[in-house]
């Protein structure tokens, strides 16, 4: 039995018909054509499915879509740059080569945004702890750490 839920998706009011068992990633992909959040491990262990719900990172492969009623949902597809330019976090990932194959990049970018919103000048321990739930199969971890540091500097200097 499906029911309608209403929520904000990347700043716009939307509605979707969801079944009780459908996850947020399934609904984002099927109903809205948003493919940035990917189900990889299906257990909330890798971070590829990261989505922000009410400014908190969730594992979209485990998070039931029905819980998004009246929520603010943000995905990697949300434009953060001026005139579609990359924002400071996205540009830092490009500048440091932290996005090798790109599969994990959306989750890392969203987690980095949340980290820098909470801790604008994180040290390396903060970064490692905060991003510990995200896995990179290309092992670009040194570049990712550098990307977060660079993004923090870019944000402070803007």
Residues 74, 10: contact at Cβ < 8 Å?
A: yes
* Beta-strand relationship, 56-59 and 50-53: antiparallel
Does residue 102 have a pLDDT over 90?
Answer: no
- Tens-digit pLDDT profile for residues 39-61: 998 898 999 999 999 999 999 99
Q: Which residue is it, tokens 């490692």?
A: 128
Does residue 84 have a pLDDT over 80?
Answer: no
Q: What share of the chain has pLDDT > 90, as a percent?
A: 85
Q: What local confidence, expressed as pLDDT, does residue 104 receive? A: 92
Cα separations in angstroms, 158 against 18, 35, 41, 82, 126: 41, 30, 37, 13, 22
Does residue 81 have a pLDDT over 90?
Answer: no
Residues 77, 36: contact at Cβ < 8 Å?
A: yes
Confidence of residue 100 (pLDDT cuts 50, 70, 90): confident
Going along the chain from its start, the domains and CATH numbers come out as 3-74 (3.10.20.30), 82-156 (1.10.150.120)
CA 90 to chain centre: 11
């Amino acid at each position: 039995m499906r029911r309608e839920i209403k929520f904000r998706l990347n700043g716009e009011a939307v509605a979707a018909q969801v079944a009780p068992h459908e996850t947020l990633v399934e609904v984002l992909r099927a109903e809205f054509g948003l493919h940035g959040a990917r189900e990889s491990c299906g257990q909330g262990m890798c971070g590829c499915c990261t989505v922000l719900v009410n400014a908190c990172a969730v594992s979209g492969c485990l998070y039931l879509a029905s819980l998004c009623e009246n929520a603010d949902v943000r995905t990697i597809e949300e434009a953060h740059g001026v005139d579609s330019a990359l924002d400071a976090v996205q540009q830092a990932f490009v500048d440091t080569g932290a996005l090798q194959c790109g599969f994990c990049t959306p989750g890392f970018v969203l987690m980095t945004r949340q980290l820098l919103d909470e801790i604008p000048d994180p040290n390396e321990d903060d970064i490692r702890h905060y991003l510990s739930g995200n896995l990179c199969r290309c092992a670009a971890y040194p570049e990712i750490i550098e990307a977060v540091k660079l993004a923090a500097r870019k944000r402070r200097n803007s």
